Chain A
Amino acid sequence: MNIPENLKYTKEHEWARTEDGCVCVGITDYAQHELGDVVFVELPEVGSHVEQDDTFGSVESVKAVSDLFAPVSGTIKAINADLETAPEAVNEDSYGKGWMVVIEPDNPADLDQLMDAAAYATFLEAEAK
């Protein structure tokens, strides 16, 4: 399972990456693998506000619907519009082309509550049991 060192993780299997004071968000390799072929991604409007741990969208595979949870509170600065026509990017490159939103955090310290790569790996092992 691919768990990049430089990212932060949620228990709902989102990843968060800090870029120029903003937080880029997507779902983990584990999550895309569990979902299977992603066929639809629903994302919020740019400019809307999200609260930490609240749903901000959904990702659907052929077999399942899964909510997306915000890793930090803040304002949506950008969404990955390419996923509208190419949702399979979530499977093919979950940490890259499969990114979903960029959030400008209300409080950057929110990130401190997330897991680092080692903690997420331990979390996944515990979930598998």
Chain B
Amino acid sequence: MRTVLYETHLRHGGRVIDFHGWDLPVWYEGIKAEHLATREACGLFDTSHMGEIFVYGPDGLALLDSLVTIKVAELKKGRGRYSFLLNEAGGIIDDLIIYCLEEGERYLVCVNAGNSDKDYAWIQQHNAAGARIENASDAMAMLAVQGPTAAAVLKAAIDFDLASIKRFGVTELETLAFGQLIIARTGYTGEAGVEIFLANAYAEPLWDALVAAGAKPCGLGARDTLRLEMGYPLHGSDIDESTSPLEAGLDFAVDFDKPDFIGLEALKTQRAAGLQRRLRGLELIERGVPREGQDCYVGDKLVGRITSGTALPGSNRGIAMAYIAGDYAEVEVAVRDKRLKAAIKQPPFK
């Protein structure tokens, strides 16, 4: 599959790879240059492969509330919150952000690319009341503008004042040049900035305007190193249907005082019993690059496995996330034919 910006990526010299069925650029100039540009100035990412599901009306609100781990009804207009869809066992079907566009009337659920069909089917499967739900993933593009100079870029490109919304805030903006924009102060890099949802037809003009205003096109490679540096989990790698939000240390997105949602009982049981393993940050003490799937040891004892790893652009420090059973200050990672020492460290790794 291709996003609406496929030709634009080629025009910018993007190195296109297959990412879970999507042809997307892994880099344009290089991962290091793009990572550092986002940390020091402003990066621009095509995240149009992400899914957008709109949920409408009081029945829609009740439906969402029965499925996700947060109290959706408490979201005020213009606010978003990170949350999960869980299976009955408390495993993570997807992590997502719910934005309240109108209280009790209109919600935007932003879900992971590879999961949008599955999520939509799951929501519909529980939609006994027949609430109106729309999977707009194919019709909408999404751009992320991230970095310390994002405010200036947004002002110049779309005359939008970043300070007008707080972190996890969302607003709608009608523009002549780019149509109706949904602008959310969220992102996957740890930097200031926004994610902009818009109709496919306006994606290329908006992309060009943001580049002209100083944003640097960034590929999936930098998107991954930036999120790993912050310790943000990636669904399909660090979290999935076999892991729970508690094991992943994402308790902040679970409202235990909710009366019910799918997976709540399982989480309560897990919490009472104690966790067998936790998602931890690892930083290699020795030189090397940790990678997904490598085992972690304490002495001869296998204590965990890496779910994501990389070398940080710039410093080349090896960092990773891994599910570790037990409390340790240090583990050894089996990197290729060697055992390399790694310190357990709470992200961010900046």
Which chain A residues have a beta carbon within 8 Å of chain B's beta carbons? 36-37, 39-40, 58, 60-63, 65, 84, 87-88, 91
Q: Which of B221-249 contact A (CB under 8 A)?
A: 221, 225
- Collect the chain A residues with CB atoms within 8 Å of residue B288's CB: 40
Residue of A nearest to B315 (CB): A39
Interface-forming stretch among B25-33, B84-92, B149-157, B163-171? B25-33
**Could you list 18 A-B pairs, sorted by A, with CB under 8 Å?**
A36-B15, A36-B27, A37-B30, A37-B31, A39-B289, A39-B311, A40-B287, A40-B289, A40-B311, A40-B316, A40-B318, A58-B336, A62-B225, A62-B310, A62-B311, A62-B313, A65-B289, A65-B336
- Which residues of the other chain, B, contact A40 by a CB distance below 8 angstroms? 287-289, 311, 316, 318
B291 at the A interface (CB under 8 A):
yes
Q: Which residue of B lies closest to A41 (CB)?
A: B287
Sample of 12 more A-B contacts, CB < 8 Å, known A37-B30, A37-B32, A40-B289: A36-B26, A40-B288, A58-B336, A60-B289, A61-B31, A62-B221, A63-B221, A65-B289, A65-B291, A65-B336, A84-B287, A87-B316
In the assembled complex, how far is the CB of residue A129 from the closest CB belonging to chain B, in whole angstroms? 17
CA distance A61 to B31 in the complex (A): 10
Which residue of chain A has the shortest Cβ distance to B27 in the bound complex? Answer: A36
Size class of the contact patch on chain B: 10 to 19
User: What are the 8 tightest A-B residue pairs by CB atom distance, in nearest-first order?
Assistant: A39-B311, A37-B32, A62-B31, A39-B316, A60-B289, A37-B30, A40-B289, A37-B31
User: Chain A residues with Cβ under 8 A from B32's Cβ?
Assistant: 37, 62, 88
Which residue of the partner chain A has the closest CB to B338? A42
Looking at the assembled complex, report how far the CB atom of A99 sits from the nearest CB atom of chain B, in whole angstroms: 19
- What distance in Å separates the Cβ of A38 from its nearest Cβ neighbour in chain B? 9
**Binary contact track B301-336/A, C-beta < 8 Å → 1, others 0:** 000000000110100101000000000000000001
Contact indicator B313/A37 (Cβ below 8 Å):
yes
Known contacts A60-B311, A63-B221, A87-B316; is A36 also within 8 Å of B287 by CB? no
Closest to B31 in A: A62
Q: Which B residues touch A63, using CB under 8 A?
A: 26, 31, 221
Q: Are A36 and B289 in contact (CB under 8 A)?
A: no
Q: Which B272-317 residues sit within 8 Å CB-CB of chain A?
A: 287-289, 291, 310-311, 313, 316
Q: How far is the CB of B256 from chain A (nearest CB, A)?
A: 38
**B316 contacts across to A, CB distance below 8 A:** 39-40, 87
Most buried by A among B15, B30, B313, B316: B316
- B336 touching A36, Cβ below 8 Å: no
